[in-house]
Amino acid sequence: MSIKATRTGIVLRPDPTRVLFRPFELGSTTRTLKIIARVGGMTDEEAEQKLDEVIREFGGRHYKLERFLLQRFEQIKPQLLTDEPLTLERKLLLGAYFTMEYSLESAALFNPSMIWHPDQSNVPPGYKRFILSLRATGEGHISSISFRMGYIDEEGKIVLRKPSRYVTSPEIVSNHRFNRAQFERKLYELRLENSIQEKMMAGLGDEFSLPELDAQIKRVSAQYRYNAEYETIAGGLLALAKSNYEIHFEEDQSLDERCIFPTSPNETNGIEDARFVQFTDDNGEVTYYATYTAYNGKVTFPQLLETKDFTHFSISTLNGAEVSNKGMALFPRKIGGRYVMISRQDGENIYLMYSDDLYFWQTKELILKPTYHWEYVQLGNCGSPIETEAGWLVLSHGVGPMRKYAIGAFLLDLNDPAKVIGRTSEPILSPDENEREGYVPNVVYSCGGLLNGRELIIPYAMSDYASSFATVNVDELLTELVGQNKPEVVNSQEVVS
């Protein structure tokens, strides 16, 4: 008997009305100067009338719009031809001319990952609050991380909260400090460590900031005429620094108003498929991690996001000989004193990785190959492993004929996850007639499920367009995987009190 997931009927579709403001970049200094000149030619009355129109039309669609318009003015201020002081109205209007709205999920809202919310206060007895992260895709097929919130009631029903009308991207922490030893180790992994790099980092302390690094690079470069090798090394140093950064949101913003939008050079074309996990360290400290794929339009880069409160986030590059391809997912705790990840480096097989350092991964071990007809093209994980008394339960996806995706599961030994206890020979979830049409047809895909008592909740994407939920009885699934009757399940992702 094969186990099949039960669909909930909930469908979460992209909402084009959820817009955030972004810089409107023209890519031309000449055009920028012309716009500044045209605005400068407006009378005070004309400028005030136009600004009033902007605020009336857009003020109710955004969180703290005027603050962003002033920030945009400060960014274009160096291109003003004089130091003549401007009124607040002129500054706001100039900022508006270089700002645009971006509908972050106008094209798709998919590849969900689900975890328990760190704050379970004021929740009725028997209820649990959860966070759902999603890949939101908008104009230019640029992906970002969007959030929804909801709860599971005492009967196991999933209820999604209607999201706020507002959505805002975070501010980059300007005083972020880099650990020099770790930074230089990453330079070594990227093959950027040489005598030029040593000159460019000379004088920096054990910790340093991006402005300090930039200033040091400029001092060294100024001593030489144009040199292509120096330019390459300088570009690599700054790209690495900009790809390791911190962001924060206003604490009074609701979680569903927060959007993690691409920021670093690695992410210019999107942040894809974040796999969130509640990680508990050996000392009991809880951190929420998410592995994700950064895409610059040509190459994908595995990255790591971490937070304790979903207000402040740190983003880091993952490095090492075996950091490649897509779909890495972190186990929710260390095993044998080491971090563990499930991965797929070659595009078709599933591997296991161990490391003493969360940010460096040097080895891998093959544990699963495509075996059944529905996974002959490739295998991959659907989120982080879930701890049960019977073993590590991992949702997987397989690709079969006509590039049809389906979701299955396998079970790994708790103490030695390289040992495969069992795997489903048939999918537990395949696209039905209502799910097979979309941006990428015939796909169901998840970035992480959640245990709720004796039920496994699987949030999943439908053909890379919208998202839904399905459930599976954990006892029945484990019985099929290990052949025992109702093994006891331990939820390692229980609510943090």
pLDDT tens, 192-226?
888 989 999 998 999 999 999 999 999 988 887 66
Contact (Cβ atoms closer than 8 angstroms) between residue 262 and residue 243: no
Q: What is the pLDDT of residue 494?
A: 39
Q: What is the pLDDT of residue 491?
A: 45
Contact (Cβ atoms closer than 8 angstroms) between residue 330 and residue 303: no
Instruction: Please give the DSSP secondary-structure letter assigned to residue 164.
Output: P
Average pLDDT on 55-84 reads: 93
Q: What is the pLDDT of residue 368?
A: 98
Q: What is the pLDDT of residue 203?
A: 87
Contact (Cβ atoms closer than 8 angstroms) between residue 11 and residue 468: yes
Q: What is the pLDDT of residue 1?
A: 61
Q: What is the pLDDT of residue 128?
A: 97
Residue 191: band (very low, low, confident or very high) from pLDDT cuts 50, 70, 90: confident
Instruction: Please tell me the distance from the alpha carbon of residue 11 to that of residue 160, in angstroms, as a whole number.
Output: 10
> What tens digit of pLDDT does each residue of 228-252 get?
888 889 999 999 999 999 999 999 9
Does the pLDDT of residue 381 top 70, yes or no?
yes
Average pLDDT on 439-464 reads: 97
Task: Say if residue 375 is exposed, middle or buried (CB neighbours under 10 Å; 0-12, 13-18, 19+).
Answer: buried
Does the pLDDT of residue 490 top 90, yes or no?
no
Does the pLDDT of residue 479 top 70, yes or no?
yes
What is the overall mean pLDDT for the chain?
A: 93
Residue 486: band (very low, low, confident or very high) from pLDDT cuts 50, 70, 90: very low
Q: What is the pLDDT of residue 485?
A: 41
Q: What is the pLDDT of residue 325?
A: 82
What percent of the chain clears pLDDT 90, i.e. is strictly above it?
86
Please report where in the chains the tokens 């971490």 appear, as a residue: 306
Residues 6+ positions from 429 with CB-CB distance below 8 Å: 4, 5, 406, 407, 444, 458, 460, 470
Residues 6+ positions from 112 with CB-CB distance below 8 Å: 12, 132, 133, 134, 135, 446, 447, 448, 459, 460, 461, 467
Residue 306 in tokens: 């971490």
Query: 466-473 and 6-12: which strand pairing?
Result: antiparallel
Q: Return the higher-pLDDT residue of 402 and 29.
A: 402
> What tens digit of pLDDT does each residue of 301-314 get?
999 999 999 999 99
Residue 487: band (very low, low, confident or very high) from pLDDT cuts 50, 70, 90: very low
Q: What is the pLDDT of residue 461?
A: 98
Q: State which amino acid sits at residue 356.
A: D
Average pLDDT on 254-275 reads: 94
Q: What is the pLDDT of residue 495?
A: 35
In terms of Cα–Cα distance, which of 244, 124, 258, 116 is closest to 183?
A: 244
